Amino acid sequence: MAGLSHHTAGLSDLETFRFPDEQAFLMAARERFRGVLLLQTCNRIEVLVQGSAASLTDFLHEQGREKFEIREGVDVLRHLLQVAAGIDSMIVGEDQILGQLKRAWAASQEAGACSQVIDLCMKKAVHVGIEVRKQTKINRGSVSIGSAAVALAENLLTTLKGRHILVIGSGEMGMLVAQALAAKNLTAIYVANRTYERAVMLAGKIGGKAVHFNELRRYFTLSDVVITCTSAPHPVITKEILADVMKGRCWPLDGHPRPLVLIDIAQPRDVEEGAGEVDGVNLFTIDNLRDVNEHNMEARREEAARAEAHIEAEIDRFITMLNGASADEVLGGLFTWAEAIRLRERERACARLQGCSPETAAVIDDLTRVLTKKLLIDATYSIRACAQNGRIEEAERLVNAITRGDQSCFRKED
* CB neighbour burial string for 62-80, b if at least 16 within 10 angstroms, e if fewer: eeebeebeebeeeebbbbb
**What pLDDT is recorded for position 75?**
95
Of the candidate CATH numbers 3.40.50.620, 3.50.50.60, 3.40.50.720, 3.20.20.370, the domain formed by 145-289 belongs to 3.40.50.720
Residues annotated catalytic, as ranges:
42
- DSSP states of 19-45 as a string? -S-HHHHHHHHTTTSSEEEEEEETTEE
Whether the Cβ atoms of residue 103 and residue 41 lie closer than 8 Å to each other = no
- Of residues 3 and 411, more confidence is placed in 3
Q: Model confidence at 40, in pLDDT bands (50, 70, 90)?
A: very high
The helix-helix angle for 22-29 and 96-110 (nearest 10°) equals: 60
H helix or E strand, kind and range, residue 61: helix 53-62
**What pLDDT is recorded for position 141?**
63
H helix or E strand, kind and range, residue 386: helix 358-388
Whether the Cβ atoms of residue 331 and residue 399 lie closer than 8 Å to each other = yes
The helix-helix angle for 96-110 and 172-182 (nearest 10°) equals: 160
Homologous superfamily of 2-135 in CATH? Glutamyl-tRNA reductase, N-terminal domain (3.30.460.30)
Please give the Cα distance from 409 to 403 (Å, whole number): 11
* Annotated domain spans of the chain: 2-135, 145-289, 315-409
Contacts of residue 72, Cβ cutoff 8 Å, sequence gap at least 6: 1, 52, 53
53-85 residue pLDDT tens: 999 999 999 999 999 999 999 999 999 999 999
Strands (E), 149-280: 164-168, 188-192, 209-211, 225-228, 260-264
User: 0.85 cut: is pTM over it?
Assistant: no
* Arithmetic mean of pLDDT over the chain: 87
